[in-house]
Amino acid sequence: MSRPDKSIHGQWSSRWAFILAATGSAVGLGNIWKFPYITGENGGGAFVLVYLLCIVCIGIPVMMAEIMIGRRGRQNPVNSLKSIAKEEGAGQFWRYLGWSGVAAGFIILSYYSVIAGQAIAYIFRTISGTFDGVTADGAANIYKSLTSDPERLLAWHTVFIVLTMVVVARGVRGGLEKLVRFIMPALFAILILLVGFAANTGEHFTHAIDFLFKADFSKLTGDAVLTAMGHAFFTLSLGMGAIMVYGSYLPKNTSIMKVTFAIAAADTAIALLAGLAIFPLVFANDLSIGSGPGLIFETLPIAFGHMAGGALFGSLFFLLLVFAAWSSAISLIEPAVAWLVENKNVSRRRACVYTGFAAWSLGLLTVISFNIGQHWLLFGKTMFELLDYLTANLMLPLGGLLIAIFAGWVMPRSSSQQEFAIKKPIFYYIWLILIRFITPAAVIIVFLNALGLFN
If the CB atoms of residues 277 and 332 are measured against ligand PFF, the closer one turns out to be 332
Q: Which residues contact 331 (CB under 8 A, 6 or more apart)?
A: 21, 24, 25, 176, 237, 242, 243, 245, 246
Per CB under 6 A, the list member of 17, 19, 20, 29 interacting with ligand PFF is: 29
| Residues 138, 287 contacting (CB under 8 angstroms) | no
Binding residues with ligand PFF: total (CB under 6 A): 16
Q: Is 31 in the site for ligand PFF (CB under 6 A)?
A: yes
Q: How far apart are CA 78 and CA 76, in angstroms?
A: 6
Largest Cα separation within the chain, whole Å, is 67
Polymer length of the chain: 455
Q: Rg (Cα) of the chain, in Å, rounded?
A: 21
If the CB atoms of residues 311 and 329 are measured against ligand PFF, the closer one turns out to be 329
Write down the least CB distance from residue 372 to ligand PFF, Å.
Answer: 27
Which listed range, 23-31, 148-156, 189-197, 413-421, lies at the site for ligand PFF (CB under 6 A)? 23-31
If the CB atoms of residues 38 and 311 are measured against ligand PFF, the closer one turns out to be 38
Which listed range, 24-32, 40-48, 220-228, 301-309, lies at the site for ligand PFF (CB under 6 A)? 24-32
Q: How far apart are CA 131 and CA 227, in angstroms?
A: 33
10 forms beta bridges with 7
Nearest C-alpha neighbor of 396 from the set 208, 251, 160, 231 = 231
Per CB under 6 A, the list member of 17, 19, 22, 26 interacting with ligand PFF is: 26
One-letter amino acid at 441 equals: A
Which listed range, 22-30, 43-51, 75-83, 164-172, lies at the site for ligand PFF (CB under 6 A)? 22-30
The DSSP-derived string for 408-438 is IIIS-HHHHHHHH--SSHHHHHHHHHIIIII
Write down the least CB distance from residue 167 to ligand PFF, Å.
Answer: 14
Q: Is 11 in the site for ligand PFF (CB under 6 A)?
A: no
| Residues 197, 307 contacting (CB under 8 angstroms) | yes
Nearest C-alpha neighbor of 361 from the set 148, 99, 157 = 157
| Residues 260, 67 contacting (CB under 8 angstroms) | yes
Residue 237, helix vs strand vs coil? coil
If the CB atoms of residues 119 and 316 are measured against ligand PFF, the closer one turns out to be 119
Per CB under 6 A, the list member of 83, 110, 237, 393 interacting with ligand PFF is: 237
One-letter amino acid at 442 equals: A
Q: Considering only residues 57-86, where is the footprint of ligand PFF by CB under 6 A? A: none
Cα 108 vs. chain centroid, distance in angstroms?
A: 9
Q: Is 201 in the site for ligand PFF (CB under 6 A)?
A: no
Check residue 6 and report its DSSP letter. Answer: S
Write down the least CB distance from residue 415 to ligand PFF, Å.
Answer: 24
Write down the least CB distance from residue 60 to ligand PFF, Å.
Answer: 15
Write down the least CB distance from residue 2 to ligand PFF, Å.
Answer: 30
Q: Is 25 in the site for ligand PFF (CB under 6 A)?
A: yes
Q: Is 332 in the site for ligand PFF (CB under 6 A)?
A: yes
Q: Is 240 in the site for ligand PFF (CB under 6 A)?
A: yes
Q: Is 23 in the site for ligand PFF (CB under 6 A)?
A: no
Q: Considering only residues 85-124, where is the footprint of ligand PFF by CB under 6 A? A: 105, 108
Strands (E), 96-222: none
If the CB atoms of residues 29 and 220 are measured against ligand PFF, the closer one turns out to be 29
What would the x/- binding string for ligand PFF be over residues 311 to 330, using CB under 6 A? -----------------x--
Write down the least CB distance from residue 453 to ligand PFF, Å.
Answer: 28
Q: Which residues contact 113 (CB under 8 A, 6 or more apart)?
A: 157, 160, 161, 164, 329, 359, 360, 363
Nearest C-alpha neighbor of 94 from the set 332, 406, 367, 437 = 406
Write down the least CB distance from residue 230 to ligand PFF, Å.
Answer: 11
378 forms beta bridges with 381
Per CB under 6 A, the list member of 39, 100, 126, 331 interacting with ligand PFF is: 331
Q: Kindly give the residue spans of alpha helices, DSSP state H, lying in 148-294.
A: 150-169, 178-199, 203-213, 222-235, 242-247, 256-284
Write down the least CB distance from residue 168 to ligand PFF, Å.
Answer: 13
Q: Considering only residues 242-301, where is the footprint of ligand PFF by CB under 6 A? A: 242
Residues that bind ligand PFF (CB under 6 A): 25-26, 28-31, 105, 108, 234-235, 237, 240, 242, 328, 331-332
